[in-house]
Amino acid sequence: MVDLLPHGWTQAQLGDLADWFSGGTPRTSEASYWNGDIPWITSGSLTQFYLRDSARRLTVLGLKHGSRLVPVNSIIFVVRGMSLKTEFRIGITRRPVAFGQDCKALVPNPTVDPLFLAQAIRARTDVVLAMVDEAGHGTGRLATDRIKSLSIALPPIQEQRAIASVFSALDDKIEANQRTIQVEEELATRLVDQAPIQLPLNKIAAVQRTSINPALSGTTMVDHFSLPAFDHERLPLRQAGAKIKSGKLRIDNVSVLVSRLNPHIPRVWYAVSEPGVLAVASTEFVMLTPTNNVTAEEVWACCNTSGFIKTLAESVTGTTGSHQRVQASDVLSMEVGDPRSIPNVQRTVVQAMVQSAYLLRKESILLAKIRDTLLPKLLSGSLRIHKVETLLESMT
């Protein structure tokens, strides 16, 4: 393996590249240990690559009596938990944080770029998951001696930093997009929520029920708007029609999809049918099209207000939490603000914000795909950093 590395690269074991630390949990019954200013990372909260915050926080006293603080640019990953059976959760700190005993923290040596090392470990996820065994009751366990043996290919430090800068530029752009999306969607929703006139949704939208069997499309690619696709990236999964086994709703142009299933989980989708690609939606959605001089963007914003979501959650039928549904007729009867009763300039802003958020979401997915394609190639040396300088410049 060493002979296949580019000139100047070396092979090292992960255990030799950083100082390793274990975390801990302060006594949960002691109120003075909790709700402070120090983020406390656990297997459950380690869901982002860049670690800045956590739902649970420690006080200085709590840190002193049961946990450990690690500095900026520490690498934290899960070594015990249910999630380890299917995924390897890893992140790099962007501020000092504490962490629990279900994680390990690495403080890289000065000769190793922290972001490069974090990406190098993440790129070996398949190898890491193969090291996981079971601690009992379905809990995954990643033994320290096994993960320390993980082999890492190391270029010279300057090349490490250059490689890390590529991923940093891509990730920074994705994060900036996510912040902009949140602001734009919140603004669009707030503007329609201020409409002085309220009316039933059926006065500005109609339900579309055109059924189609995508399997008849064979190998032709189809955009599939499903609940898992919404939860993953809020963009449809493009797949061969033959892989979609049940009847769906056909989407033409732009529609708004409101999930009927378990509406306590808000799922309101601005669904765009791309030119030349068949688009279909799960029948678990109510598919709405705008009527009476209202746009799809405005219907989306109306259905995304907190009042609408709350009413939706209160209108379920069924007795179990996993199978509660809302009837399409109930969705249409819900009161929303009439977008036509707000100033035209605000209506224009609503449309622009929803469209912009959609385009930024698509851009972020493309950037993530570029990052994930480059990652193994740059980290193995099969693609050298000077060949992606143009890409780096375009992202910064």
Instruction: Give the model confidence (pLDDT) of 270-289 as tens digits.
Output: 999 999 999 999 999 999 99
Does some domain include residue 187? no
* CA torsion through residues 136, 124, 226, 239, sign: negative
Over residues 300-309, mean pLDDT: 96
Whether the pLDDT of residue 321 is over 80: the answer is no
Q: Which residue has the higher pLDDT, 393 or 175?
A: 175
Q: Is residue 190 in some structural domain?
A: no
Alpha helices in the chain (DSSP H): 60-64, 114-123, 125-130, 144-148, 157-193, 227-232, 296-303, 306-313, 328-333, 344-380, 389-395
User: Does the residue 189 lie in any domain?
Assistant: no
Q: How high is the mean pLDDT of the chain?
A: 92
pLDDT at position 138 is 76
State the burial class of residue 107 (Cβ atoms within 10 Å of its Cβ: 0-12, 13-18, 19+): middle
Evaluate if residue 396 carries a pLDDT over 60: no
Q: How confident is the model at residue 1 (pLDDT cuts 50, 70, 90)?
A: very low
How many other C-beta atoms can be found within 10 angstroms of the C-beta atom of residue 242?
14
Asked if residue 361 and residue 306 are part of one domain, the reply reads: no
What is the mean predicted confidence (pLDDT) over 240-259?
93
**Encoded amino acid at 332, one letter:** L
Are both 105 and 248 inside the same structural domain? no
Between residues 19 and 167, which one has the greater pLDDT? 19
Evaluate whether residue 272 is within a structural domain. yes
Give the gyration radius of the chain's Cα atoms: 25
Res. 263 pLDDT band, cuts 50 70 90: confident
Paired tokens of 76: 């934290």
Sign of CA dihedral 4, 112, 88, 234: negative
Same-domain pairing of 351 and 315: no
- pLDDT tens for residues 164-222? 998 898 999 999 999 999 999 999 999 999 999 999 999 999 999 999 999 998 999 99
201 and 312 in one domain? yes
In this predicted structure, what is the pLDDT of residue 317?
A: 73
| Residue 375 confidence class, pLDDT cut points 50, 70, 90 | confident
- Residues 329 and 240 both lie in one domain: yes
- Among the residue ranges 81-95, 120-134, 306-320, the one predicted with the least confidence is 306-320
Q: Is residue 79 scored above 80 in pLDDT?
A: yes
Question: Considering the chain, what percentage of its residues have pLDDT values greater than 90?
Answer: 78
One domain, residues 312 and 217 = yes
Task: Choose one of 135, 154, 173: the last residue of a domain.
Answer: 154
Q: How confident is the model at residue 395 (pLDDT cuts 50, 70, 90)?
A: low
Residues 290 and 387 in one domain: no
Q: Domain count of the chain? A: 3
Residue 313: φ, ψ to 5°? -65, -25
Is the pLDDT at 390 greater than 70? The verdict is no
pLDDT reading at 308 higher than 50? yes
- CA 74/CA 115 separation, integer angstroms: 9
Sign of CA dihedral 347, 350, 352, 358: negative
In this structure, the answer to whether residues 355 and 295 fall within a common structural domain is no
Do 392 and 334 share a structural domain? no
Containing structural domain, residue 100? 2-154
The single-letter code of the amino acid at 113 is D
Average pLDDT over residues 286-295: 96
Confirm whether pTM is higher than 0.75.
yes
Nearest CA among 255, 181, 199, 180 for reference residue 223: 255
Whether 319 is in a domain gets the answer yes
Q: Are residues 315 and 367 in the same domain?
A: no
pLDDT digits (tens, 9 = 90+) for 45-72: 998 999 999 999 999 999 999 999 999 9
pLDDT band at 2 (very low <50, low <70, confident <90, very high): very low
Structure tokens at 300: 């989306």
pLDDT in tens, 99-114: 999 999 999 999 999 9
Cα 376 to Cα 167: distance, rounded to the nearest angstrom: 12
Q: Do residue 73 and residue 135 come from a single domain?
A: yes
Residue 147 lies in a domain: yes
For the sheet with 57-58, list strands across it: 57-58, 34-41, 97-99, 69-70
Pick from 130-144, 211-225, 290-304: least confident: 130-144
User: Tell me, what CATH number does 34's domain have?
Assistant: 3.90.220.20
| Residue 133 is assigned to a structural domain of this protein | yes
Looking at the predicted structure, is the pLDDT value of residue 334 above 90? yes
Asked if 40 and 120 sit in the same domain, the reply is yes
